[in-house]
């Protein structure tokens, strides 16, 4: 009986994750981010480094007179770093914040792919193995277009407490 309940809960959770996702490349993998959290995609701008910030924070950019932190997802996910390319870009996302309601942050990715409409039946639970810190960032695994896309929970990737600390440094 509990197995049936688990399958129903899993299907309900997957249905709740269904929707439009911006997909992007990072190392050899393809990731998805809920499109409603994406404010814009911009080419690589000059990034100002800051002293004594976490190593995965590349620095800050000036985006239309707003200073926003830029998180290097390769470093955040402990992947090998590479030089920026012509396809490297910044995805500006809106992250909930306890004090101001929301805060903008940029995530640096290797390349943006496309916007996909992912159905609930295409989404599975993240694998149980590798339950390290990175596993908390994953909301699901989408099987679409003959490949697997890792769906990220941006609230876990960029927690409000973490962003608060970074923006106070800025």
Residues 6+ apart with CB under 8 A from 2: none
**Per-residue pLDDT at 146:** 87
CA distance 106 to 116: 21
**Per-residue pLDDT at 136:** 78
Phi, psi at 83, each rounded to 5°: -70, 150
pTM, whole model, 2 decimals? 0.85
Query: What tokens appear for 167 in the block?
Result: 């923006």
State the burial class of residue 85 (Cβ atoms within 10 Å of its Cβ: 0-12, 13-18, 19+): exposed
CA distance 63 to 70: 11
Question: Which pLDDT tens digits describe the chain residue by residue (170 residues)?
Answer: 555 445 545 555 666 789 999 999 999 999 999 999 999 999 999 999 988 888 899 999 999 999 999 999 999 999 999 999 999 999 999 887 767 678 889 999 999 999 999 999 999 988 776 555 456 789 999 998 889 999 999 888 887 666 666 666 65
């Amino acid at each position: 009986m509990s197995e049936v309940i688990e399958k129903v809960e899993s299907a309900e959770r997957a249905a709740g994750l269904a929707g439009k996702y911006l997909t992007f490349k990072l190392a050899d993998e393809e990731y998805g981010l809920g499109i409603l959290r994406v404010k814009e995609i911009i080419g690589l701008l000059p990034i100002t480094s800051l002293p004594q910030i976490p190593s995965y924070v590349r620095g800050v950019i000036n985006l239309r007179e707003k200073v926003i932190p830029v998180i290097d997802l390769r470093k955040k996910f402990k992947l090998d770093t590479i030089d920026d390319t012509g396809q490297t870009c910044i995805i500006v996302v809106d992250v909930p914040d306890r004090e101001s309601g929301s805060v903008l942050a940029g995530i640096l990715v290797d390349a943006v792919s496309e916007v996909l409409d992912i159905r609930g039946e295409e989404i599975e639970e993240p694998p149980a193995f590798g339950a390290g810190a990175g596993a908390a960032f994953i909301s699901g695994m989408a099987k679409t277009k003959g490949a697997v896309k890792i769906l990220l929970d941006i609230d876990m990737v960029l927690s409000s407490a973490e962003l608060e600390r970074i923006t106070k440094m800025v």
